[in-house]
């Protein structure tokens, strides 16, 4: 099933207008015809089933036959992650995290960060493609860059931090289920600094472990997403 994304679509709409890019894809690539069925999501939980009424290279239209509100996850996961040195690895993380299930991503600047600039619009487009491909109905929010210490002051719900220092740590387990809002910090390849780890502890951020092996930043991010999603299955 091919799924399309129109963020402006609301449950009150009866007609759907596709932009030039989606229209060209419908017409030239998918070879859709008038009368064909089509599925659209708006990224905030609504899925629409429609029928194409016009097919043109510049604009396609459809009528809405059905609108369904898709149940949201019983939790909200916000990952604060230091961008990887390679853009490709950061983009891979966003794609896979969206497929697994994540609700917000904030790139953070740490004292040992290798990269301090990300193309937010590029990550947003990757998240859209991943949501469409995985038949999701909710698009994760890609927040602007944020300093680590600033992020610590903006936390909601229960927060965790994954680092490599020899301190007391817990495993993400059933204790997470007691919290509907979960934040997890994933540091750069050089790890969080001692100052950052102490600041997190001062804000009651719980240190966690994903096992005995040292992981790349994007791998730890995926493990975090998967671990939380599995707890709520």
What local confidence, expressed as pLDDT, does residue 167 receive? 84
Model pLDDT for residues 182-225, shown as the tens digit of each residue: 999 999 988 999 999 999 999 999 999 888 888 899 999 999 99
Residue 138 CB coordination number (10 Å): 19
What local confidence, expressed as pLDDT, does residue 111 receive? 92
Choose between 232 and 142: higher pLDDT. 142
What local confidence, expressed as pLDDT, does residue 174 receive? 63
Angle at 27 between CA 26 and CA 28, to 5 degrees: 105
User: What's the CATH class of domain 76-231?
Assistant: alpha beta
Q: Does residue 4 have a pLDDT over 90?
A: yes
Model pLDDT for residues 136-193, shown as the tens digit of each residue: 999 999 999 999 999 998 898 899 999 988 888 888 776 676 788 999 999 998 899 9
Model pLDDT for residues 11-40, shown as the tens digit of each residue: 999 999 999 989 998 999 999 999 999 999
What local confidence, expressed as pLDDT, does residue 165 receive? 85
What local confidence, expressed as pLDDT, does residue 7 receive? 94
Q: Does residue 57 have a pLDDT over 90?
A: no
Q: Does residue 69 have a pLDDT over 70?
A: yes
CATH code, 3-69: 2.40.240.20
Q: Where in the chain is the domain with CATH 3.40.1280.10?
A: 76-231
Average pLDDT over residues 43-65: 95
Q: Of all residues in the chain, what percent carry a pLDDT higher than 70?
A: 98
Q: How many DSSP H helices and E strands does the chain contain?
A: 6, 13
pTM of the model as a whole: 0.92
And the tokens for 96?
Answer: 């896979």
Q: Are 48 and 16 in contact (CB under 8 A)?
A: yes
What local confidence, expressed as pLDDT, does residue 177 receive? 66
Q: Where in the chain is the domain with CATH 2.40.240.20?
A: 3-69
And the tokens for 73?
Answer: 């996850």
């Amino acid at each position: 099933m091919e799924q399309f994304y129109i963020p402006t679509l609301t449950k009150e709409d009866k007609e759907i207008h596709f932009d030039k890019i989606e229209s060209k894809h419908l017409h030239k690539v998918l070879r859709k015809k008038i009368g064909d069925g089509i599925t659209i999501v708006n990224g905030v939980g609504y899925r629409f089933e429609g029928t194409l009424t016009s097919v043109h290279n510049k604009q396609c239209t459809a009528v809405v036959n059905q609108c369904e509100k898709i149940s949201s996850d019983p939790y909200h996961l916000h990952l604060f992650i230091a961008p990887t040195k390679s853009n490709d690895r950061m983009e891979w993380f966003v794609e896979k995290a969206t497929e697994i299930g994540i609700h917000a991503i904030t790139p953070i600047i740490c004292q040992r960060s290798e990269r301090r600039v990300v193309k937010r619009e590029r990550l947003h487009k990757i998240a859209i493609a991943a949501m469409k491909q995985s038949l999701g109905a909710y698009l994760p929010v890609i927040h602007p860059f944020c300093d680590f210490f600033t992020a610590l002051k903006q936390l909601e719900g229960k927060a965790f931090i994954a680092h490599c220092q020899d301190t007391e740590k817990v495993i993400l387990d059933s204790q997470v289920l007691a919290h509907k809002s979960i934040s997890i910090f994933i540091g750069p390849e050089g790890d969080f600094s001692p100052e950052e780890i102490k600041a997190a502890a001062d804000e009651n951020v719980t240190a966690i472990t994903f096992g005995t092996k040292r992981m790349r930043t994007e791998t730890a991010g995926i493990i975090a997403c998967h671990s939380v999603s599995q707890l709520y299955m």
